Amino acid sequence: MTDISLSGGRKLVYRHRLVVRITHWFNALAIVCLFMSGLQIFNAHPELYWGPKSTFDHPILSMSADTDDDNNDYGTTTIFGHDFDTTGVLGLSSNGNGQMVERGFPRWITLPSASPELAVGRRLHFFFAWMLTINGLIYMGSSLLNRHVQRDLVPTKQDLSAVGKDIVNHIRLRFPRGEESRKYGVLQKITYLAVVAVIVPLMILAGLTMSPRVDAGFPFLLTLFDGRQSARTVHFVIAFTILGFSMIHIAMVVLSGPINNLRSIVTGWSSIEEDKAP
């Protein structure tokens, strides 16, 4: 699509294809619902282990509630044997009627918010897991065919030599405004590529490894993740990795011009500065 000149030395450039825009928003919806229903499922047994089976006496991570000598309830999160007081958030939190109850993650971050709601949590989770997977296949399939991945996401040699500069610019919150902003910066390329080609696929595989039926058909998954309980732990850790990515991603969108960024990922068109003739 050709650029459209605007007044004031600016122009509109076509930045995102329709498939990318549509799959981006289905993906965002699926990720939010998966994260929140996933924490609901986690709450059914808020403990993580490594290996094929649960070593109940030695969880890697656990959340629980207890009562102290003064009869006060408190919530504890134990990570690698170290206890942290997480009263009000993890282990012990409000049930929504002002009463404190034992639950892993609090109601404002689980779906449904009430707990225990494992059955509904699972049904939601698997629905959105299918949405994420089908949507992801459409995105990946089309983006490999139309070479979006190869052209716009895989960093070039030239890109890679500018990583240092790009890091400094990010720290200074200096973002390109002119011709340079037509394309993703190198940090953006590396991050997006890692998310779509490594992190999300690993997430899906770790999730499938928790399915006893899939394990029977593809036992190498159990070997890949070192067992079903480790797959559950990896799945949990990746969930928070994706949360971390999403928060930085949204922060960057806001810091580098939220209106223009949102217009471009909704309509496809982005406004950039005309480079001044040398």
Partner 1 sequence: MTDVKKSTRRAFMGLASAGGLLTLTGCDKLISTPWFMNVIDSAEALSRSVQRAITGSRPVAREYAESDISENFRQNGTTNPQNASYQTMVANGFADWYLEVGGLVDKPLKLSLAALRQLPARTQITRHDCVEGWSDIAKWTGAKLSAVLDIAGVKPEARYVMFFCADPMGMNGNYYESIDIPGAYQPQTILAYEINDQTLPVAHGAPIRLRYETQLGYKQAKYIMRIELVDSYAKFGRGKGGFWEDQGYEWYAGI
User: Residues in the site for ligand HEM, rule: CB under 6 A?
Assistant: 15, 20, 24, 27-28, 31, 184, 192, 195-196, 242, 245-246, 249-250, 253, 261-262, 264-265
- For position 222 contacting partner 1 by CB under 8 A, the verdict is yes
Nearer to partner 1, 103 or 232 (CB): 232
Does residue 219 have a cis peptide bond before it, meaning omega lies within 30 degrees of 0? no
Nearer to ligand HEM, 33 or 231 (CB): 33
Residue 217 interacts with, from partner 1, ligand HEM, none (CB under 5-8 Å by kind):
partner 1
Q: Which residues pair with 84 in a beta bridge?
A: 77
DSSP class per residue in the chain: ---EE-STTEEEEE-S-HHHHHHHHHHHHHHHHHHHHHHHHHHTS-EE--SSS--TTS-SEEEEEEE-TTS-EEEEEEETTEEEE-TTTSEEEE-SSS-EEEESS-GGGSSSSSSS-HHHHHHHHHHHHHHHHHHHHHHHHHHHHTTHIIIIISPPHHHHHTHHHHHHHHHTT----SGGGGS--HHHHHHHHHIIIIIHHHHHHHHHHT-HHHHHH-THHHHHTTSHHHHHHHHHHHHHHHHHHHHHHHHHHHHT-HHHHHHHHHHSEEEEEPPPP-
Residue 74 interacts with, from partner 1, ligand HEM, none (CB under 5-8 Å by kind):
none
- For position 42 contacting partner 1 by CB under 8 A, the verdict is yes
Residue 213 interacts with, from partner 1, ligand HEM, none (CB under 5-8 Å by kind):
partner 1
CA distance 108 to 94: 10
CA distance 123 to 34: 11
* Among positions 31, 41, 61, 239, the unique one binding partner 1 when judged by CB under 8 A: 41
Residue 264 interacts with, from ligand HEM, partner 1, none (CB under 5-8 Å by kind):
ligand HEM
Query: At its nearest, how many Å lie between partner 1 and the CB of residue 102?
Result: 14
Residue 192 interacts with, from partner 1, ligand HEM, none (CB under 5-8 Å by kind):
ligand HEM
- For position 123 contacting partner 1 by CB under 8 A, the verdict is yes
Residue 24 interacts with, from partner 1, ligand HEM, none (CB under 5-8 Å by kind):
ligand HEM
Query: At its nearest, how many Å lie between partner 1 and the CB of residue 155?
Result: 32
Query: At its nearest, how many Å lie between partner 1 and the CB of residue 227?
Result: 8
Interaction mask 73-92, partner 1, x per CB under 8 A: --------------------
Nearer to ligand HEM, 43 or 264 (CB): 264
Query: At its nearest, how many Å lie between ligand HEM and the CB of residue 207?
Result: 15
Q: For residue 245, what are its two tokens?
A: 């990515």
Query: At its nearest, how many Å lie between ligand HEM and the CB of residue 228?
Result: 25
